[in-house]
């Protein structure tokens, strides 16, 4: 007797009649997904949720009557249903997407730049709906914020310090939520620069940096080729380009390069981590946060091989335990850390980052 696999029930919300046909058609290509209904705005969506009890909602952001953000607010308050937002490739679209993630959306997919390109979004949309159905809706808003003591940080980093240490972070799906929890807890006088690859499209990374900068003691901005990752500074790789690190007398310098996707991504976490492994060896800390796939595992393995200390977000606090899981299973991680403890652990580790290899011991849980 064959056991029938439960299909993922999806409600599609979009004011465009074309997209209300196209999106279900794309999702129906996967046998594990069933589109149970559509709605033309947020108000209709709330009624359909009550009737249909979907597992996942895909929702356009900009709609008449009740827009996506207003509907999302009510869905988060009244239902434990993961929501994947559909956004446009615009600055406004990126800003609204960041707001949606802040409010509780689990992920987003960019709409194609025309009906002729709709097929290009199919693979991403299907994979993110599947991941959304598995996502643990974790409330990470509580917890004390760490306030640093150096108040001259927001403009250009800690004055007069040449960093000998560097923290490299990689993240994908669920990463924006993790970064929004982690980075505000890094104190202003933190003794290392921080460089981050977060899988996101072009224009969205700049908005992500602004979104994070508003709530952090350290300065957060999208990286520009040639600038230094100084203490008190967080640099995020721009979308559609790779970020590498070069060691220079004045500190680590970022190099931004267009190229080909690595592991299906540009920017790629592996590209960043491999450059940090070459340039900073045992004076680096590698961190893998929530994300799908395996990008970053090989790179963090090279970092560890060169003497860097390596940590991963634990399963329980990850929205998607994909990237951390692969790195842990390959034996490339020194310490698995809950997100709630991550900032304190990073701050402590940077103070002890040299000589890690001599005292290294596996602490995997």
Domain architecture of the chain: domains with CATH: 8-134 (3.40.50.2300), 166-359 (3.40.50.180)
214 contacts 180 by C-beta, under 8 angstroms: no
> Is 363 part of the annotated catalytic residue set?
no
> Is 172 part of the annotated catalytic residue set?
yes
Return the ∠ at Cα 346 (arms to 345 and 352), rounded to 5°.
90
41, 55, 199, 270: the active-site residue: 199
User: Over 60: is that where the pLDDT of 72 sits?
Assistant: yes
pLDDT score of 117: 66
Alpha helices by DSSP H, the chain: 17-27, 42-52, 68-78, 91-103, 122-134, 175-182, 204-213, 269-280, 297-305, 323-329, 339-351, 356-359
309 contacts 281 by C-beta, under 8 angstroms: no
- Residue 257: in which H helix or E strand, if any? strand 251-257
User: Over 50: is that where the pLDDT of 37 sits?
Assistant: yes
pLDDT score of 359: 47
Please state which of the ranges 66-75, 167-176, 178-187, 345-354 shows the lowest mean pLDDT.
Answer: 345-354
27 contacts 2 by C-beta, under 8 angstroms: no
pLDDT score of 85: 95
pLDDT score of 121: 82
Kindly indicate the confidence band of residue 319, based on its pLDDT and cuts at 50, 70 and 90: confident
pLDDT score of 131: 87
pLDDT score of 137: 64
Residue 59 contacts by C-beta under 8 Å, 6 or more apart in sequence? 13, 14, 42, 45, 68, 71, 72, 83, 84, 85, 86
172, 203, 268, 290: the active-site residue: 172
pLDDT tens digits along 184-210: 999 999 999 999 999 999 889 999 999
**Average pLDDT value for the chain:** 87
Q: What separation, in Å, do the N-terminal and C-terminal C-alpha atoms of the chain show?
A: 38
Q: Name the 3-class secondary structure at 204.
A: helix
Kindly indicate the confidence band of residue 152, based on its pLDDT and cuts at 50, 70 and 90: very low
pLDDT score of 357: 42
Cα separation of 68 and 90, whole Å?
16
Please state which of the ranges 40-54, 102-116, 228-242 shows the lowest mean pLDDT.
Answer: 102-116
> Is 295 part of the annotated catalytic residue set?
yes
pLDDT score of 160: 45
60, 295, 314, 334: the active-site residue: 295
Kindly indicate the confidence band of residue 163, based on its pLDDT and cuts at 50, 70 and 90: low
26, HSE (Cβ side, Cα atoms, 13 Å): 24
The CA–CA distances, whole Å, from 166 to 33, 58, 169, 190, 286 equal 43, 38, 10, 11, 9
User: Over 50: is that where the pLDDT of 355 sits?
Assistant: no
pLDDT score of 136: 65
* Conformation bin of residue 143: beta by default, left when phi > 0, alpha when psi is -120 to 50: left
pLDDT tens digits along 281-312: 999 999 999 998 999 999 999 999 999 999 99
pLDDT tens digits along 123-142: 889 989 998 998 766 654 44
Output the pTM of the full model.
0.85
Percentage of residues of the chain with pLDDT beyond 90: 72
pLDDT score of 114: 66
pLDDT score of 89: 76
pLDDT score of 330: 97
């Amino acid at each position: 007797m064959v056991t029938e696999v439960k299909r993922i029930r999806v409600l599609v919300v979009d004011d465009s009649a074309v997209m209300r046909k196209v999106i279900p058609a794309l999702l129906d290509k996967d046998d594990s997904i069933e589109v149970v209904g559509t709605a033309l705005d947020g108000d209709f969506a709330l009624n359909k949720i009550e009737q249909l009890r979907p597992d996942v909602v895909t929702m356009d952001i900009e709609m008449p009557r009740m827009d996506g953000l207003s509907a999302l607010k009510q869905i988060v308050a009244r239902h434990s249903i993961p929501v994947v937002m559909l956004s446009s490739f615009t600055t406004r679209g990126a800003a609204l997407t960041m707001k949606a993630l802040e409010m509780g959306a689990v992920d987003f997919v960019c709409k194609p730049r025309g009906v002729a390109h709709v097929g290009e979004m199919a693979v991403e949309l299907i994979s993110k709906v599947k991941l959304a159905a598995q996502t643990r809706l974790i409330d990470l808003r509580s917890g004390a914020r760490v306030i640093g003591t150096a108040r001259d940080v927001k403009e250009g980093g800690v004055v007069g310090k040449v960093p000998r240490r560097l923290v490299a972070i990689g993240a994908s799906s669920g990463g924006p939520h993790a970064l929004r929890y982690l980075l505000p807890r890094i104190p202003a006088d933190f003794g290392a620069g921080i460089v981050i690859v977060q899988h996101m499209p072009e224009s969205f990374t700049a908005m992500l940096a602004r979104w994070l900068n508003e709530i952090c003691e350290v300065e957060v901005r999208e990286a520009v080729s040639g600038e230094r990752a100084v203490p008190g500074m967080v640099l995020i790789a721009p979308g559609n380009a790779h970020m590498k690190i070069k060691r220079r007398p004045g500190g680590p310098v970022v190099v931004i390069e267009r190229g080909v996707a690595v592991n299906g991504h540009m920017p790629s976490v592996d590209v960043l981590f491999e450059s940090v492994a070459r340039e900073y060896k045992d004076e680096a800390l590698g961190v893998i946060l929530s994300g799908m796939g395996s990008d970053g595992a090989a790179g963090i393995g090279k970092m560890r091989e060169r003497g860097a200390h390596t940590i991963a977000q634990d399963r329980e606090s990850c929205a998607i335990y994909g990237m951390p899981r692969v790195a842990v299973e390959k034996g490339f991680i020194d310490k698995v850390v809950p997100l709630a403890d991550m900032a304190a652990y990073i701050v402590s580790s940077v103070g002890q980052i040299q000589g890690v290899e001599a005292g290294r011991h596996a602490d995997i849980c």
